Amino acid sequence: MSLKFKAVGPITRGLALTGATLLLSNQAFSSGYIVKVKGDKTAYKAFLSRKATFGGTVEQTHAAGNLVLVDFGKTDTSVKAERIANLLADPMVQYVVENKKVHAFGTTNDPDLSKQWSMEKIRAAEAWTSGVGNRKIVVAITDTGIDYTHTDIAENMWHNPKEIPGNGKDDDGNGFVDDVFGYDFNQNDGDPRDETGPKNPGHGTHCAGIMGGVGNNGRGITGMSQQLSMMAVRFLGADGSGDLMGAAKAIDYAVANGANIISASWGANMGASDAQPVTDAISRANDKGVIFVVAAANDGKNNDTTDVYPANTNLPNIISVAASGSTDAKPTWSNYGFQKVHVSAPGENIWSTLAGDKFGSLSGTSMATPLVSGLVALMLSHNDKLTAPQVKAMLQSTGAQVAIETACECRVDAAAAVERVMTNALTVIPQAATINTSNTLQFSATGGKTGYTYASSAESIASIDQNGLLTAKTTGEVNVTVTDSSGANNTSLRIRITEPGSGGGGGGGGGGGDMECPLDPQLCEAICAIMPDLPWCKTSNL
């Protein structure tokens, strides 16, 4: 069994396209197995030198992630299980997973601005009075590609400064030929142009317009950040789907080539074990200070109890986004969750650019995500030292309160978020969280005058020491207040304390629970017959 990542897939309704972040169920499409190698690059090369012993063909390698994609061909389950078991028994192998598929879940003079209800809703024009962005801020759009010649996008495209277009050479020595605007990991070439099809009207291009359509150019629409540099990193095809290996490569390319933010309007229903190649790549992005904004998905489900990745990745650089409508209600199709979804943003009937120099309307958390990415880019244009936890706390503390189940129960407010950045206002971090009883959560603060003290609104439910470490005692809700040396204070939103197993969080660490087998159940059963001591053979029903 293999699962496709999908560009969070559109449904045609007249001139509008909706549901642009719909996730497929776990359909079976085999695309090989990803082997993660332990150790440094020397160990990785040593492992590859033994490829004749793998029992299959090496289809791809990815040195940045120590990954090898192996195809075992049309072998039966018992043979495939034996070959995978041999790899798992190798001391140089960390894990083996299926290469599962994911899918593409001031006032300007732009004539279609009146169609962009979302900009008025989040008070974008007021945010722009402090500045409309900065092309030094680079946002990588990992998607179906971008129509980088679109007249309302071209000026805000990222350009690789050391690459000479069309000469067939890797001029900058980064390992990629002719990657002027980014790279295409779907077709493995230097042209990341959005390729349309029945399932892709131009998903990546639509996201690009929402995020960074050129402002005040007398044409079409304007993006949330009217000036920025958008890097096109294509790994989703014309059918809106790609795979784990391509996603990991796309993320690592963005990080290596200077992205400040990665926007991901895609995902799939899969467990944490299945998603390791991608979550490992996001972890590498986190280590480099890259903010990862991701769509919550369009299943209409609670992500606190539903496996959706990369949206549910538990890392500090993640900002997971639900969709809101024109009345600030949650569209029925948007996913949600107090623990795993951080903010909401307009994502219903959003007018933006489409491939072929066109414009049109799409709906989905796919549309809400680039709007937040663009807002984060606008915030960084005023202070590029902001970290992901700081940005997330500022978005939550300034958001408009709405009845959408996210950590902050809020919808982003661009004007208020930019003002908080501009004034360096005191902000407690995190603003909202869910943890289990007996767990701890570290608080900090940004802005104001240094010399912070912390207080809990209910010490009997959760206490906090003067270093900002909160200890949960019993179920309930508290607020944490930080006071700076001048006497100014800021109070968090709700910090929820829940019992283990009720959808609560695990503090600052990774998720708990039994380890799941990251392979097809029938294959897992066969491997467990060979290697019964594997962790997931002991903890599952196999």
| CA dihedral over 227, 233, 236, 239, signed as positive or negative | positive
For tokens 């120099």, the residue is: 357
Query: In a 3-state reduction of DSSP, which class is residue 247?
Result: helix
- Segments in 288-387 forming alpha helices (H): 365-382
Measure the CA–CA gap between 398 and 372, rounded to whole angstroms.
Answer: 13
Task: For 43-65, give the secondary structure using H, E and C.
Answer: HHHHHHCCHHHCCCEEEEEEHHH
- What is d(CA 176, CA 171) in angstroms, rounded to the nearest whole number? 9
Going through 398-465 in order, the beta strands assigned E by DSSP cover: 400-401, 410-411, 427-429, 433-436, 440-442, 444-446, 453-456, 462-464
Q: Indicate the pairing of strand 16-18 with strand 182-184.
A: unpaired
Which one of 143, 152, 179, 274 is the catalytic residue? 143
Catalytic residue of the set 203, 225, 241, 456: 203
* DSSP one-letter code for 157: B
C-beta separation of 517 from 533 below 8 A? no
Closest CA to 202 of 347, 17, 371, 370: 17
Catalytic residue at 118? Answer: no
Asked about 206 being catalytic, the answer comes back as: no
Enter the DSSP assignment of 442: E
- 106, with CB counted inside 10 A (0-12, 13-18, 19+), is middle
Integer Cα distance of 7 and 242 in angstroms: 9
Position 19, amino acid:
G
Catalytic residue among 352, 366, 381, 456: 366
Residue 159: active-site member = no
Active-site amino acid positions? 143, 203, 366
